[in-house]
Amino acid sequence: MNPSVSALLLSAGESRRLKGIKPLLPFPGGTLLSYQLDSLSSVPEIGEVLVVVGHRHRRLLPVTEGRQGVRAAVNRDYRLGPASSIRAGLREMSPGAENILILGVDQPRPRWVLEGLVAGHLRGGALITAPTYRGKRGHPTLFSASLLPELLAISEEKQGLREVMSRHRAEVHQVELDTPAVLLDINTQEDYEQALGLLGP
């Protein structure tokens, strides 16, 4: 299958509830950022990974360098919130993308989870696809590139991606995956330890 997905990895925010730089937290295979890049890059349908950096970007850029299919974009306005990072990344994305996967660096996902989600999205020809675990919706979310104008218009005031998903709620395809990993979101030390317990060796 030809690569048809562009992945947007958001890694621009400040780690206010965790000590240190969140993307550089130790994680299987290196750091949280390198784990995410390895997972995303190993999915055949993902043709490019665009990492959006902002806070402490000079420390993060070396992790992205020398990786085939990986590029970085610096969001100088990262303090305005994640919507600004999504817009910054979308503006740098390759124009030929047919589908857009959006994932936060603090939402670690193993390769098989990403493969299952991408396969479900492409097989169903859905406008939007999200993973679920026991009926609870998780991340990442996949969008058809036909929604690009709407994605470029998101704002913090209108709840970012939630606005787009709410507008098309009847067209959201859910892929049930048998792992709580789709719900992982590292914001606290407890979250970090939970992620390590689930995804560590």
What is the helix, strand, coil percentage profile of the chain, to 5? 40, 25, 35
**pTM assigned to the model:** 0.95
d(CA 26, CA 199): 12
Do 107 and 39 meet the contact criterion of CB atoms below 8 Å apart?
no
In tens, the pLDDT along 16-60 reads 778 789 999 999 999 999 999 999 999 999 999 999 999 999 999
In tens, the pLDDT along 87-140 reads 999 999 998 889 999 999 999 999 999 999 999 999 988 999 999 999 999 999
d(CA 197, CA 32): 14
